[in-house]
A = this chain, B = another copy of it.
């Protein structure tokens, strides 16, 4: 689906002196990825009659920003692997990860500033507000690791900031470049928010119920890491005592052999019907996304790419 978007970075290079600063940037930006944010930005622009050349630099900019957040997040979370390759702080070192990340944030701005628009001030303000919210989301994520009273509402607020606003912002920025009407932009933004929430909940679900052949996941890693995902928080809310206490205790433990713990958590999840509850929550987000897409004042054929995206991701069509 994202083939033309993937090409965006194939001819884009970030080789510059000092190479100790730019090598990790070039490495990070050529690790691949689905390039969904540039896809959303360009798609929103096309929907309202914009030409790809009008948003090419902005599309690159938003992907650089996204990769900057991954780079710093991987350092903060001590994640050794990203897209099957060592993360920057592991391949180089922590200082390189900090400074190359900072530089990527600035490079994202450089690309946005290189893309003219009569609405540039609004576009840059949207980008910047999004950037601030993504930082806030990452902080809440780190806070929640230490907290033992995280609610489902807290969690939804966190993933909205950490994940959803950037998808929504990409759509809004693309539509702004095309000169779309304000009401349509607002609906597209809300579409992006619900899409992003659905994405993150799906990601949570895959950790326990992913198709291993398709996604290479279903490792129960979130359970081993005691991550307070949507699954865990839903289970905690649904479980009667003493199951609730057992679950909380399991998520406070880090046994050397974590397999029995994962098996027991999965048993509890099964007993409580967590998979079904989370699947419903995901479909609810997709439905809300579709409601906002419906409200956009454009003919159906213009909305087809986003509709196809939802259908594919929601598993309604494959």
- Minimum CB–CB distance from A266 to chain B (whole Å) comes to 31
A225-250 near B? 1/0 per residue, CB < 8 Å: 00000000000000000000000000
Tell me if B139 and A20 are in contact (CB < 8 A). yes
Q: Which of B17, B72, B110 meets A102, CB within 8 Å?
A: B72
The number of times this chain is found in the oligomer is 2
Question: Across the interface, which residues of B come within 8 angstroms of A18, CB to CB?
Answer: 136, 139-140, 143
For the complex, what is the distance from the CA of A17 to the CA of B143, rounded to whole Å?
12
Question: Across the interface, which residues of B come within 8 angstroms of A120, CB to CB?
Answer: 121
Tell me if B132 and A107 are in contact (CB < 8 A). yes
For the complex, what is the distance from the CA of A102 to the CA of B98, rounded to whole Å?
10
Tell me if A99 and B135 are in contact (CB < 8 A). yes
Tell me, yes or no, whether A125 is within 8 Å of chain B by CB: yes
Tell me, yes or no, whether A251 is within 8 Å of chain B by CB: no
Question: Across the interface, which residues of B come within 8 angstroms of A72, CB to CB?
Answer: 98-99, 102
Known pairs A99-B135, A109-B109; A20 contacts B143 (CB<8 A): yes
A66-89 near B? 1/0 per residue, CB < 8 Å: 000000100110000000000000
Tell me if B102 and A135 are in contact (CB < 8 A). yes
Tell me if B135 and A21 are in contact (CB < 8 A). yes
**A120: nearest chain-B partner, CB-CB:** B121
Q: For chain A, give the interface size range.
A: 20 to 34
Tell me if A103 and B75 are in contact (CB < 8 A). no
Tell me if A95 and B142 are in contact (CB < 8 A). yes
For the complex, what is the distance from the CA of A138 to the CA of B20, rounded to whole Å?
11
- Minimum CB–CB distance from A24 to chain B (whole Å) comes to 10
For the complex, what is the distance from the CA of A18 to the CA of B161, rounded to whole Å?
12
Q: Chain A contact residues: over half helix, strand or loop, or mixed?
A: helix
Tell me if A135 and B95 are in contact (CB < 8 A). no
Within 8 A of B (CB), among A122-145: 124-125, 128-129, 131-132, 135-136, 138-140, 142-143
For the complex, what is the distance from the CA of A105 to the CA of B98, rounded to whole Å?
13
**A103: nearest chain-B partner, CB-CB:** B135
Tell me, yes or no, whether A6 is within 8 Å of chain B by CB: no
Tell me if B102 and A76 are in contact (CB < 8 A). no
Known pairs A120-B121, A121-B113, A143-B18; A99 contacts B128 (CB<8 A): no
- Minimum CB–CB distance from A129 to chain B (whole Å) comes to 8
Question: Across the interface, which residues of B come within 8 angstroms of A139, CB to CB?
Answer: 18, 20-21, 99
Question: Across the interface, which residues of B come within 8 angstroms of A272, CB to CB?
Answer: none
Tell me, yes or no, whether A106 is within 8 Å of chain B by CB: yes
- Minimum CB–CB distance from A163 to chain B (whole Å) comes to 16
For the complex, what is the distance from the CA of A103 to the CA of B105, rounded to whole Å?
11
Question: Across the interface, which residues of B come within 8 angstroms of A142, CB to CB?
Answer: 20, 95, 99
Question: Across the interface, which residues of B come within 8 angstroms of A105, CB to CB?
Answer: 102, 105-106
A to B CB contacts below 8 Å, 15 in the list: A18-B143, A20-B143, A21-B136, A21-B139, A75-B98, A76-B95, A76-B98, A95-B142, A101-B102, A103-B132, A103-B135, A103-B136, A105-B105, A107-B132, A109-B131
